[in-house]
Every structure is written in structure tokens, then in C-alpha cells.
Amino acid sequence: MATYIVRRLLVAVPIFFGITVIVFLLLALAPGDPVSAFIRPELRTNEAMRAAIIARYGLDQPLPIRYIHWLAEAVQGNLGYKAGGVGLPVLDTVQRGFVASMLLMGTALLIGIFVGIPLGVLSALRQYSKLDYALTGVAFLGISMPSFLLGLGGLYIFGLVIRIFPIGGMVTAGAPFSPFDLGAHLALPALILGVGYVAILMRYTRSSMLEVLGSLYVTTATAKGLPNRTVIARHAFRNALIPIITIIGLSLPELVGGAVIIETVFSWPGMGNMMVEAVAGRDFPMIMGLTLVVAIFVLMANLLTDVAYAVADPRVRYN
Amino acid sequence: MATTTAPKALQTGAGTFVGRPVERPLRRTIRRFRRHRMAVVGLITILVLIVLAVIGSEQTALKQSLAIANQAPSPEHWFGTDRNGRDVFARTLVGGRVSLAVGLVATLFSALIGTILGAIAGFYPRADLIIMRVVDVFMSFPTIILLLIAVSVFGPGIINLMIMIGLVTWTVPCRIVRGQFLLLRESDYATAARVVGLSDTAIVTKHILPNATAPLLVYISLGVASAVLIEAGLSYLGLGVQPPTPSWGNMLNAARSITTLERHPWEWIPPAAATVTFVLAVNFVGDGLRDAFDPRGSKDS
């Protein structure tokens, strides 16, 4: 098991460096001039000053050297400072966004898992029933419905027409913190982000469950005289879950992507919202910092998926 | 002598064996597609949307008149007017033209890159290693974040959007084509073509690539829908198609103001409804195409 994890980690390392190189290159080649940010506007034509700053920050070095400098600082937690304003450290800001995003995505994921998987099992057990057809139709809508339009519609209907949810943000401004307040703000965006997820997990659980139910060892278990309940829970369901783990892992990047726009629709102060703001304001240190954090998150999620897969399916470990 | 008669004998033999005239693949595909009622409805919906998008008048869509800003739907302005007093109906039609054009061009571009790289990866094992690592990096990253980074570097705009969407979504067709190539590279007829002395290019373009047509067509149909959604998302954020040119996405941008969202729903519901209708219709068509192309023909009698 330990060797397996180490091997997976080693595979993730080059991908991580690949991402950092791409991000660094893109932003190094970006139009705009980092030097000007350090000089007062009236002195911008002063060539000596320019040269001094370029030398001081190593901007005259070749790209590979600059990349190594940047990476060395980054791994020590120095992601630079937000452009404009008072220049807050990027890391602090990103950390706050990370917590908010995790809260939103985590809730959506849990909704997906705890609603989607049971519905998928139900759909498979009653294959070709009215319920199965209804769930299939709902899943089709859920998968093809763009989450951000659902978000706009949801915000309009539940936040503005019938005012049962707050219209955005994470907490009521000025009010003392309470879990209820947070929950009320969280409910609508998390539900909308979770809808597509419910649909996807339901479909995959259904087909995986149907496949397992048709297998010989399930027939054997039934033939042994085990009660139906035991066959389904112990023999079928546990094996049907194995591919679902992969689906959950593979869809995590899409969850992060979906969160970007949902966060903007609901002014949720997460990383997606920050990313959009940073791009609109061309705040490159922020863009790099956020990208790096998303990259680490996605790679860790992939790694966890692989490990979970190995735990669930012994065949993976020994190959 | 023997070589000229043998195929003829085989042909008649096969004909008797099947017991009915062999149906051309295209006709069979069309017949199966037509049986999919929702797919046909979807196709008609898409055609109607395209016609509407084509007949939209750009002049009307861009004509401002602040005196009639934010007016509710009326006989003169079917969908009302936006905050600059422009006709929302005309803007929805022209916006559809922009959105669909972005979606289609971006997807074709993505299919082109994907097909070329997928073919190279599937045919040359050495290139495969490198290309698939690049695919891994792209796929492990949320598309929208890649696009946001790209926008921050290259700036927004219609042409940029088409190129950038193509550049971040090519991994899907690449994997489709590569899969076909891995499957067929060592097939008997590819080997036969090689033995006859055909060049790599000829084997690839004439013998292997045609097999990837069906999955690629399904990808393109679904890809257009997801590209339209990406355009809508980015333009909603103000980072896609730039005003005054309308697109479904940047019309939705008006809904970022809570006042507009609440008080002037006619400004954002038409583009939102159009986007949803288009995406749903494409999904039905994609579903129908997938079944129609399926060579196993599970539902075929």
C-alpha cells in the first residue's frame, strides 16, 4: 500500500511542475510591465531607476533562473503581494478564499453523494419502472442544465420573487456570526452546485449497480439463500461503489470550475470570485497564487481518489 | 482470371446470406436517428434557433435610445428594452448569431487540434507518451480556470475566445481519436495497407481516420453546446464578448446587477432561455446521434 501511494505521488510531481511552468511562462509573457508598478508615474521615463529596479528584482535574468527564484519563494509560502491597493499578501487572501470555497464545494459534494448514490441504487433496483424513467429524465435535465443559468434562475426565484434565501454573500453584513446565518447563505448556491452532481452520480451508480447485479457472484449469493437485503447491501452495492469513486475524483476539477461562476453569481467570497476579480483587474500575483493553490488541490484530490480506489479494490494494489 | 471472379462470387454470397439488400451506413444512421423522437425535436429546435439568429438585424440590435431605457415588453419591443434602450428581442437574435458562431468555430478548431494530436499520439508510440502527459495536465485542471488565465494574458474578444476555447478543449477529441488509432493501428486491414506499401499518411487519412468520424461528430455536436456555455459564462463575467456586440452571455451580464435581475427580468430571461433551449436541444441530438452511429445497433431490429 505504501509503495502504491509513493508511486502515485511520484506521478503527480511532474504534472505539478508542468502546471507551474505553464503558469509562470504565460504570466511572464503577458503584456504589461511589472517594473512600472514600482515607480511613481512621474519618474517612469527615468531609465537609470528602471535599470536599478530591473537589476534588484532579477528581471534581467533569463527566464529559467527567474522561474527557479519564483518557485523557491513560492514553496516557502511567499506568493507575493496583491497588485494595487495596500498590497495585501497573496497567501493570506487566498487562504480565506480557500476556506470559503471548500465550504461551498464540500457541501455540494456531500449533497451529490448522499442524494445521487441512493437514488441511483433505487433506480437500478427498479429498472424500467415509472420511477426509473422519471429519475432518468430528471438526471438528463440535471446533466444538461448549465449550473450558472440555474444559479441565476434560483437566485431570482428564491432570493427575489419569494424571498426565502438571502441574495448573496456568506454572512449577513454587520450581524454577529451564527451557524444558521451561514447555513442560510450557503444553502442555495450549494444546492445548485450539487444538482448536476446528483444527476451524474445517479446515472453512474445506476449503470454500475445494474452491471454488478447481473454478475455471477450475485446470483451465487442469492442461490445460497441469503436474504435479498444482504445480497444488495453486502455483495452488490459495495462492488458497485468502486467505479463511483473514480467518477467522484474525475469530476472534482469540474466542481471547481462550476464553483467559479456560482461563486460570482452569489457573491460567495471564495477563490473563484477572487480569480474573476483578479483577471478583470489584471492582478497577476493573485492569478498565479490562486492557480497554484487550485493545482495543488486538484492533484491532491486525484491522489486521494487513487488511494481510495486502491483501498476499495485490492486488485489495483497488486498490479 | 480467378482473381477477377472471386470478389463477385463473394458479393453474391454475402447478399444471399444477409437475405435483404445491404443498407448503406448513412441511410441506416438516418433511419435510426429519425426513430429518436426527442432527437428530431431537438434538431428542429436548433434549426429554428439558427434561422432566428441569421435573420436578426444588427442595426436594430445596436440602436440606442436612452429615452426608452429599461421598458417592459410592449408591441413595439416584444422583449422590452435594456438599460441603453436597445431592443432586447433584436439583441437576443443577433446575440444568438455571435454565441453560435463562437461555439461552432471554437469546437471545429478544438476538433482539428485534437484530431491531429490524437492521430500522432495513436500512431507513434513515442509521441504518445509526451502528448498524453500534456493531456493529463490539461484534464486535471478546470477548463474555466485555464480560460480565465488565458483571458488575463491575451485579453477578451470574439476571435480570442474562439481560439482560447479551442486551445483548452482539444483534449476530448484527442483522446477519442487516439483511442480509435490504438484500436486500429494493428488491425488486419491497416497491416494489409502497410504491406501493399501505402505511406503512413495514406494509412492514417484513408484507412484509420474515417473510423473516428462518428465519435467526432458526436463530440462536435455536444462540444458546440459546451462552447456556447463557456462563452456565456465568460461573457457573463464580462471577460468574453465585449459590448456593444451582443451575445447571449454578455446580455446575461446585465443580471449581475441585483436591480436588473429583480426589476427588469425581460433583459436577461430571453438570452438565458435561449441558451438553455439550445443546450438541451443539442444534448438530445447528441444522444440520438450516439445511438444512430452505434455499429452494434442495440436497438436495431
Peptide bond into B244 cis (omega under 30): yes
- Number of A:B CB contacts under 8 A? 114
CB-CB under 8 Å, A23 with B149: yes
Q: What is the pLDDT of residues A232-264, one digit of tens each?
A: 888 889 888 888 988 888 888 888 888 888 999
**Rounded Cα gap, residues A86 and A258, in angstroms:** 31
pLDDT interval class at A74 (50, 70, 90): confident
The 8 Å CB, 24+ separation contacts for A288-292 are A288/A23, A288/A24, A288/A27, A288/A79, A288/A80, A288/A90, A289/A79, A289/A80, A289/A90, A289/A91, A289/A93, A289/A94, A290/A94, A290/A97, A291/A19, A291/A23, A291/B145, A291/B149, A292/A19, A292/A20, A292/A23, A292/A74, A292/A79
- Would you say residue B224 has pLDDT above 70? yes
User: What phi and psi, each to the nearest 5 degrees, are found at residue B175?
Assistant: -70, -35
Q: What is the pLDDT of residues B4-38, one digit of tens each?
A: 444 444 444 444 455 566 777 788 888 888 888 88
What are the cell numbers at B207? 484507412
For the segment A212-224, the average pLDDT, to the nearest whole number, is 89
Q: Which residues of B touch A (CB under 8 A)?
A: 133-134, 136-137, 139-145, 148-153, 225, 229, 232-233, 236-239, 252, 255-256, 258, 261-262, 265, 268, 272, 275-276, 279-280, 283
Residue B115 CA to chain centroid, in angstroms?
14
Q: What is the DSSP string of A77-100?
A: T---B-SSTT--BHHHHHHHHHHH
Chain mean pLDDT for chain B: 84
What are the cell numbers at A262? 456560482
**Rounded Cα gap, residues A15 and A73, in angstroms:** 20
Q: What is the pLDDT of residues A106-122, one digit of tens each?
A: 999 999 999 999 999 99
CB-CB under 8 Å, B153 with A144: no
pLDDT of residue A32: 64
Least confident piece of the model among A26-30, A245-249, B93-97, B256-260: A26-30
Name the residue among A140, A280, A294 with its Cβ closest to that of B145. Answer: A294
pLDDT of residue B60: 79
pLDDT interval class at B232 (50, 70, 90): very high
Q: How far is A268 from chain B (nearest CA, A)?
A: 13
CB-CB under 8 Å, B252 with A260: no
User: What phi and psi, each to the nearest 5 degrees, are found at residue B134?
Assistant: -60, -40
pLDDT of residue A41: 66
pLDDT interval class at A84 (50, 70, 90): low
Beta bridge partners of B87: B81
For the segment A66-85, the average pLDDT, to the nearest whole number, is 79
3-state secondary structure of A126: coil
Cβ neighbours of B258 in A, within 8 Å? 160, 167-168
**Where on the phi/psi map is residue A174: left (φ > 0), alpha (ψ -120 to 50), or beta?**
left
For the segment B292-300, the average pLDDT, to the nearest whole number, is 60
Better-scored residue on pLDDT, B173 or A56: B173
Residue A102 is inside which H or E element, if any?
A: helix A90-111
- Would you say residue B252 has pLDDT above 50? yes
Least confident piece of the model among A200-209, B6-15, B232-241: B6-15
Least confident piece of the model among A56-65, A80-89, B87-96: A80-89
What are the cell numbers at B201? 499518411
3-state secondary structure of A244: helix
pLDDT of residue A22: 77
Q: What is the pLDDT of residues A160-201, one digit of tens each?
A: 888 888 877 787 777 777 788 888 889 899 999 998 889 999
Q: What is the DSSP string of A166-183?
A: --SSSS-TTSPP-HHHHH
Q: How far is A260 from chain B (nearest CA, A)?
A: 8
Cα distances (Å, whole numbers) of residue A146 to A112, A123, B240: 16, 24, 17
CB of B129 within 8 A of CB of B117? no
pLDDT interval class at B264 (50, 70, 90): confident
DSSP, res A31:
S
Residues A234-257 as b/e (b if ≥16 CB within 10 A, e otherwise) read ebbbebbbbbbbbbbbebbbbbbb
Name the residue among A18, A261, A299 with its Cβ closest to that of B233. Answer: A261
pLDDT of residue A205: 92
pLDDT of residue B296: 60
